[in-house]
A and B are shown apart, each in its own frame.
Chain A
Amino acid sequence: MSKSLSDSLVATSVRHPAHALSGPAVDDVGDPVIRARHLVKRFGRVTALDGLDLTVGRGQVHGFIGPNGAGKSTTIRAILGQLRLTSGALTILGRDPWREAPVLHRRLAYVPGDTVLWPGLTGGESLDVIGRLQGTQDPHRRAELVERFELDTRRRARTYSKGNRQKVALIAALSTDAELLLLDEPTSGLDPVMEDRFCDTIREVRAEGRTVLLSSHILSEVEALCDRVTIIRAGRTVVTGSLDSLRQEGDSFDDVFLSHYRNVS
């Protein structure tokens, strides 16, 4: 009794601001690739997700932004079926990610924010292990991306810098045929030249009609690439909508973003 009451309180308090700010935008997505409703995840006494909503439509590049600890990575791990949610409804490509993880994973590819590789394997071996376990690696695309990102594939991963490790995860994910790309702060450690090539690649991916969830706190990158944006804070969705509709709220996207952290304590 008291549980359902508190759940509904959480639900209204989360839903309300999201709807108020984004208006009808949240529903104009037919056939969503990611559909998350009131996600709650508690680790012991810590609440990581506190009623998070997220809808990503097919073919979108969707920016997922928020400060450190807001719950971005937790959400992505739930999408990957690596976390059991405390409550809430989550469907990815129409399926339950916890129960059907391996089936779903053939259709999505993931880039972690801080990629840790096997120190004894070469970069090339790591690429193939990740890509082939995903199941849809395209060797031609792999070769092309290795060249584009200038990766020395014969070096052991223990000798790689952070940027090089990040390149391995990026190439592995981008050389698959996945319909959905989950990118968790993918450009951390990349130099400006490589970041530029990353942006070009994401535009190609969008042109192919694939869907991207881009978690980031680099606002310029989000502004350059994304169609729609969801801003979260403390495990809840603060606002979601198209970039254009959000820009109308303030002078620049940065102002809009920061305003959501100034007003609420």
Chain B
Amino acid sequence: MTGVWRLVRLHVRSHWLVLVAPALLLAGLVIATASGVKDLYPTAEDRAVYAATMGASPASWAFNGRGIDLDRIGGIAAYEVGLAGQLAIPAVGLLLGIGLTRRLEESGVIELVTSGRVARTAVPLAALVVGIGSWLLFAKACEAGLYAMGFDRLGSQTYPSILALYGMAFTGIGLLAGQLSQGTRGAYGIGGLLAGAGFVTRAYVDGRQLRYVWASPMGWVAEAHPWGTWVWWPALSFIALIVVTSGAAVLVASRRDLGSGVLQQRPGRATATRVLSTASGLAWRLTRGSMIGWAVGALTWCVSLGAMTDEMGRIIAENPTLAEALGGDPTQIETVMSLVLAAAMASAAAVAGMSRLGVEEGDARLGLVLAGAVSRTRVWLAWTGVVAAFAVVTLMMCGLGSGVAQWLTGSSRDAVTRNLGAAIAYVPGVLLVTFVAALLVALSPRLRGLGWLPVGWALVVGLLGEALRLPQWSRDLSPFELVGRVPVEALDRTAWVWLAVAAMVACAAATVRFGSRSLTRG
């Protein structure tokens, strides 16, 4: 354990931004959501109406988790943080756990550090220490913000605490994944898979209002009742999870060789397949890892939500207040919820695929490929073609998956065509986001990160648009809002056509630009 403090000081000096920025952004998300709902439900009656409508909808339960203590404003705020918080917090947790261990090992920093007076086991321990520091910062920032806005003192402490424990548990999972896998991407894969499985389990349990609330850590946050009478088992379970995962990480670290993992990589193929050595084959091989991850997430989301539609319909039918508040056919509302998120995730897959081309250029591998007998335009069209086709196919599969799931669980057969129709409505939006990302890479590979902005905004609008009370003009900046919430609202055909035209213009401009500039690295 020698060298833990030396390493901690090094992390704080060299990675302070990773330790501070995500923590404060998450705190900002929680505070902004809480401030959005604070003045909306001032009286007990307002909150009772909310609890009987939004707070009782099984679709919202699947989405956000259980509504608990909705008679208090803090409970409503926690409920509205819901899905965004459940996914963003584990993401930051994994970033801290893996980014300060396996990623540094892969880049060679750990080799250098452990050649000095730093023990092997100090690596995960130091990451744990700074990880805890980062989550403390998050909790304290949340607490200050909530208390300053007038939320009750105790809840302002307990709610951020349980969120921080939840995040820390994923830092622990990240530490362990970083020891098990030999590569950074593999480690994120393990962590992401666990987070996804936890989310789907919780969505299923809560959406069908089953009793097994302990089944997924994602459900533990609400079960702690941070705004009501504090319940201890969730916090203790999180602490146990942190101790077990980081303990296992230290144990593995003490026994393995530097650069190795527990899950060894098998030797690969000695020759390339015919498909791999074509421009499209190479593009697919290099982008499929990240793109398939998003697609699986989107498809799982749509199918599981679709499968719960009938059950939700029944619960809604028994609750007239709720049916009135939702103001629509539950199967149609389910379709919108499924496909807006699916469109955002399909776009995310496309942006990940396009930014990989920027990475290829920056790492000089694109220059190596273009030293061969392939034209720049061919490589470009193959790459954008593979990425755009994948995004559109993902979206259509999501429409089909949601529709078939609704049909099999009791809806009429029209559900399939209705869901496919809704998916088609979002196609130009997905293509626009894809080709804007392509255009950024064509202008300069350094701009590739900006492609995530429209995806991020679409997610914020889709998940938090209501909770943050965003004005309509800002919601319309998301291309998926522009066409209307199909099938609850009718498709805005003019907007659909304009989005498609804009996508084609971006694509054409990107193709011309990419073919006519110097490579940044060769």
Q: A interface vs B, CB < 8 Å?
A: 73, 76-77, 80, 82-84, 101-103, 105-106, 108-110, 112, 114-122, 124-135, 153-156, 158, 169, 182
Complex Cα–Cα for A153 and B516 (A): 36
Q: Are A129 and B272 in contact (CB under 8 A)?
A: yes
Q: Are A128 and B369 in contact (CB under 8 A)?
A: no
List of B residues within 8 angstroms of A108 by Cβ? 371
List of A residues within 8 angstroms of B268 by Cβ? 121-122, 124-125, 154-156
Q: Are A110 and B371 in contact (CB under 8 A)?
A: yes
Q: Are B365 and A117 in contact (CB under 8 A)?
A: yes
Q: Are B272 and A132 in contact (CB under 8 A)?
A: yes
Instruction: For A130, give its contact among B183, B363, B369, B376 (CB under 8 Å).
Output: B369
Instruction: For B269, give its contact among A102, A106, A124, A132 (CB under 8 Å).
Output: A124
Min CB distance A97 to B, Å, is 11
Q: Are A125 and B271 in contact (CB under 8 A)?
A: yes
With A84-B518, A158-B183 known as contacts, the answer to whether A124 contacts B272 (CB < 8 A) is yes
Jot down 24 A-B pairs with beta carbons below 8 A, ordered by A.
A73-B522, A82-B518, A83-B519, A84-B517, A84-B518, A101-B375, A101-B376, A102-B373, A110-B368, A112-B368, A112-B522, A116-B363, A116-B364, A120-B185, A121-B276, A122-B267, A122-B270, A125-B268, A125-B272, A125-B276, A128-B277, A130-B369, A153-B270, A155-B267
Q: Are A129 and B276 in contact (CB under 8 A)?
A: yes
Complex Cα–Cα for A265 and B410 (A): 85
Complex Cα–Cα for A219 and B277 (A): 36
List of A residues within 8 angstroms of B378 by Cβ? 102
With A130-B368, A132-B272, A132-B277 known as contacts, the answer to whether A82 contacts B375 (CB < 8 A) is no
Q: Are B367 and A77 in contact (CB under 8 A)?
A: yes
List of B residues within 8 angstroms of A115 by Cβ? 368
List of A residues within 8 angstroms of B267 by Cβ? 122, 154-155
Min CB distance A175 to B, Å, is 12
- Asked if B311 CB lies within 8 Å of chain A CBs, one says no
Q: Are B277 and A133 in contact (CB under 8 A)?
A: yes
For the complex of A and B, 10 pairs with smallest distance between CB atoms: A133-B372, A128-B272, A132-B277, A122-B268, A154-B267, A110-B371, A124-B270, A77-B522, A135-B373, A106-B373
Complex Cα–Cα for A101 and B367 (A): 12
Not counting A116-B363, A153-B270, a sample of 12 additional A-B residue pairs whose C-beta atoms are within 8 angstroms of each other reads: A82-B371, A84-B516, A84-B517, A101-B376, A103-B373, A112-B364, A119-B183, A122-B268, A129-B277, A133-B373, A154-B270, A155-B268
Min CB distance B459 to A, Å, is 28
Q: Are A128 and B276 in contact (CB under 8 A)?
A: yes
Q: Are A112 and B272 in contact (CB under 8 A)?
A: no
Min CB distance A191 to B, Å, is 20
- Considering only CB atoms and an 8 Å cut-off, how many residues of chain B contact the other chain? 36
Q: Are A118 and B375 in contact (CB under 8 A)?
A: no
Q: Are B367 and A82 in contact (CB under 8 A)?
A: yes
List of A residues within 8 angstroms of B367 by Cβ? 77, 80, 82, 112
Chain A, residue nearest B274 (CB): A132
B81-89, B278-286, B464-472: which one contacts chain A?
B278-286
- Asked if B115 CB lies within 8 Å of chain A CBs, one says no
List of A residues within 8 angstroms of B129 by Cβ? none
Complex Cα–Cα for A114 and B363 (A): 10
Complex Cα–Cα for A233 and B270 (A): 42
Q: Are A169 and B269 in contact (CB under 8 A)?
A: no
Chain A, residue nearest B367 (CB): A82
Q: Are B271 and A124 in contact (CB under 8 A)?
A: yes
- Asked if B512 CB lies within 8 Å of chain A CBs, one says no
Instruction: For A105, give its contact among B271, B272, B371, B517 (CB under 8 Å).
Output: B371
